[in-house]
Amino acid sequence: MTETTKVRVPQTAKGHRPTFFEDPTNDRIMAMMTSMITEMWVMRERLDTVEALAAKKGVFLEEEIEQFEPDPDRAEERERMRQELLSRVFYVFQEEAEDIARGDTPESYEDAINTSADR
């Protein structure tokens, strides 16, 4: 098959893309950040594979990377690493959620500042 007749698998969905912030630029930044963190993980995992293979053999071939399947322990460790990476990048929501759970507000913060000096 020549390049011109190659079937192109659809990459986007029909339907207007919704945005949620007053300024849609923020939605774009969120989308790029979410994609970026994915790509960062892809790199990190590849490196992990390289390290695992290097440790095992001292030398390695590229197809060994392609064929590498993590053993159950390493697979579990990777899941833990992914969760950690996610909580680091999305830490700000954790912070906000905990503020809400504690009942912390800008007013309570202001109040703490104003009163603690006299305590």
Binding site for another protein (CB under 8 A): 1, 6-15, 17-21, 26-27, 30-31, 34-35, 37-39, 41-42, 45-46, 49, 65-66, 68, 78-79, 82-83, 86-87, 90, 93-94, 96-97, 100-101, 103
Nearer to another protein, 103 or 119 (CB): 103
At position 31, the amino acid (one-letter code) is A
C-beta of 45: minimal distance to another protein in Å?
A: 4
Taking the complex as a whole, the smallest distance from the CB of residue 52 to another protein amounts, in Å, to: 12
Task: Compute φ and ψ for 88, nearest 5 degrees.
Answer: -65, -50
CB of 106 to another protein, least distance (A): 12
Angular region, 4: left φ>0, alpha ψ -120 to 50, beta rest:
alpha
Q: What separation in angstroms does the CA of 27 have from each of 21, 23, 32, 34, 85? A: 6, 8, 9, 10, 21
**Of the two residues 62 and 118, which places its CB atom closer to another protein in the complex?**
62
C-beta of residue 54 within 8 angstroms of C-beta of residue 60: yes
Smallest separation (angstroms) from another protein to the CB of 118 = 29
